[in-house]
Chain A
Amino acid sequence: MSEGALPKNDAVLRVDDLQKSFGGLAATDHATFAVERGTITGLIGPNGAGKSTLFNLISGFYEPDGGTVEVNGTDVTGMEPYQVADHGLIRTFQTPRKLEGMTVREAMLVGPRKQPGESFLTLFSSPGTVGESESANLAEAERILEEFEIDHLAAQPATDISGGQMKLVELARAMLAEPEVLLLDEPVAGVNPTLAKKLKSQIRRLNEQGTTFLLIEHDMEFVMDLADPIVVLDQGHVLTEGTPEGVRSDDRVIDAYLGGGT
């Protein structure tokens, strides 16, 4: 790797001049920002600002029209989502989708990356290896469920738990994938205040343990309290970024949210 390809500062995710248009609409308009390792970076912006599009571009679900995405110094632009995930970028979805016919424990076990048992031939050529890795993953899944204080849900059908609990399970499962950077798409949307509080403390705990977060959230109190720095997106481009206090008092941000009335 050449000197120039190394991450400047210590950015785990770097988005540079990213563009994406749908028809004539520029959903992402030359967006540039970086997520420094060890931070909880908030991504906010009014409805239609292009936050979810940006998430889809970063995680490989959309192919950008221009610009680059780097994860850990590697250019992942144009890669398939599973390849982006292999580089350590894991994401969740706005609406958690429930895994039909699985218990919470099984749903958790989808998380670990590159399991030996995911190769069909290994199932028959080396069942012992599969068993060992499955045991280790099972133990890890149960440890994480305990840390999240949802171990009592382990044997429940994944379709039977509440939306808020599902968000917790999603976060717990994402941790099994050992992300370098975790993208959370509205982690507390539609979650009751008690669970939202729990989610917040879990995110903070995981961050203290070293996980970097980038999160989209509409709940201003939640995001201002948790995230630093905050990136503000408006009409597809980065309006400003900075500390919660700085962003809160920025006139352009107030303008964007209130439609230029102030």
Chain B
Amino acid sequence: MSALTDPKGALAELTRPERWVLGVSVAFLLFLLAAMLIGALGPTYFLFLVGLAGMYALLSFGLNSQWGFTGLINFSVAAFFGVGAYGSALITASGSPLTEQLADVPVVSSLLGFPIVGLVVGLAVAFVLAVLIGIPTLRLRADYLAIASLGLAEVVRLIVLNERWLTNGSAGVRGIPGFFENWPVLSTFPEAMPGLRIEVIPGSPVILGTSFWQALLNVLLVLAFAGATYFVLRRAHRSPWGRVLRTIRSDEDLARALGKNTYSFKMQSFIIGSLIMALAGVFYTHLNLYVGPGDLDPITTFYAWVAVILGGSGSNRGALFGGIVIVTIREGTRFLNDVALPIDPAPLRLLLIGVVIVAVMRYRPQGILPPQRELIWPSAIDGGGAPETPDSGVREQKGGGGDE
């Protein structure tokens, strides 16, 4: 039974917080549409925001598959994000020192400039980094990974800042192409599309030009990335594999006593999460067309943590929701510049995020959308005529993330 074939049934299955989130999201979307139609919000900028939301959703998916699933404390989200972003940028950008150095190397030089190659390189570097940091720390207690990851984040940031021959240092990397550059059809799609002029309110037309179509392509790209990630994580989460991770999160010794190689499971969870974070970085590079050391600041790690805690650790939908909330607060506060406030609105952003976190921890410590249903492989339930699902949700009574 899907939401498409039976919308009423699907709605009835939702729990109260799910309905609430759905309602708020629909209302918010309508509000944004209205703002666009009256010309208060540029459609291109709106699509840019959707792209950012997708990027934050990816970051939260990555952290969720480490912390939410397995309880791995990773404070180097920004490092893996940065590795993805720089990995792809250095391979593809015209202003990359690396492409200049490799220009004369046969075979390799013919691969430079292709964002797909950048994607592979970004993910590969993240993979290697995750394995290197995982080997010494994942056999130890959770705290060691936390400490090591804090260090890793700084190390990666400082390398990016200081190794000018490779990264351009503080100047950052410019001249990054869009993700669809060099692709057939898609690379010329934005120019080929006709400009549209929509006039809802007389006198303030909304114009959809090349940049709009470019932004639309980016949104489709992030939807593909995030959609595929969501699909993979959803399947993994409700599988026996995910169940072992959840056991490790609560009690690693129990998992070991039952014959699970917890080191291997933790490593898989850590690598998968890190790859997803790097994927967010690759997308960001080709969305922003510029990366600098500032993109590796710890604030990115902070935002990802806030998104996961806010949404409900262990919940993929929660991570998605958290990512959207972060972008709404981050970008929404920019509009406060238009309103005359007695104080500078920029610090207000962090204050607002702090208030949201305090409120969530106080009133809903398990997060807004914690995992609420039994996670058993779907076909086993359909086939075995499994018993009723608890309607209260297994995490309703206890804080999902409240054990740390």
By a beta-carbon cutoff of 8 Å, the part of chain A in contact with chain B is 59-61, 80-82, 85-86, 90-93, 97-103, 105-106, 109-111, 113-120, 123-124, 127-128, 130-131, 133-135, 137-139, 154-160, 173-174, 177
Among A118, A139, A155, residue most surrounded by chain B Cβ atoms (within 10 Å):
A118
Q: How far is the CB of B28 from chain A (nearest CB, A)?
A: 28
Which of B236, B259, B381 meets A177, CB within 8 Å? B259
A90–B257 touching, CB < 8 Å: yes
Measured CA separation A60–B257 after assembly (Å): 9
B257–A59 touching, CB < 8 Å: yes
B322 within 8 A of A: no
Interface size on B, residues (CB 8 A): 49
Given A139-B384, A160-B397; A113-B259 close (CB under 8 Å): yes
B394–A134 touching, CB < 8 Å: no
Which of B258, B379, B394, B398 meets A90, CB within 8 Å? B258
Which of B235, B387, B400 meets A155, CB within 8 Å? B387
A138–B250 touching, CB < 8 Å: no
Measured CA separation A154–B381 after assembly (Å): 14
A-B contact list, 11 entries, CB within 8 Å: A61-B256, A82-B256, A100-B398, A101-B398, A101-B400, A105-B387, A113-B259, A119-B241, A123-B241, A130-B377, A138-B381
B246 within 8 A of A: yes
Given A100-B400, A154-B387, A155-B390; A117-B258 close (CB under 8 Å): no
A103–B394 touching, CB < 8 Å: yes
A138–B241 touching, CB < 8 Å: no
B262–A82 touching, CB < 8 Å: yes
B314-371 with Cβ < 8 A to chain A: 314, 370-371
Which of B240, B247, B250, B258 meets A85, CB within 8 Å? B258
Measured CA separation A92–B258 after assembly (Å): 9
Measured CA separation A30–B254 after assembly (Å): 27
B314–A105 touching, CB < 8 Å: no
By beta carbon, the residue of chain B nearest A156 is B390
B388 within 8 A of A: yes
A80–B379 touching, CB < 8 Å: no
Measured CA separation A173–B259 after assembly (Å): 12
B13 within 8 A of A: no
A110–B387 touching, CB < 8 Å: no
Measured CA separation A15–B314 after assembly (Å): 42
B397–A99 touching, CB < 8 Å: no
Given A80-B261, A99-B251, A120-B236; A134-B256 close (CB under 8 Å): no
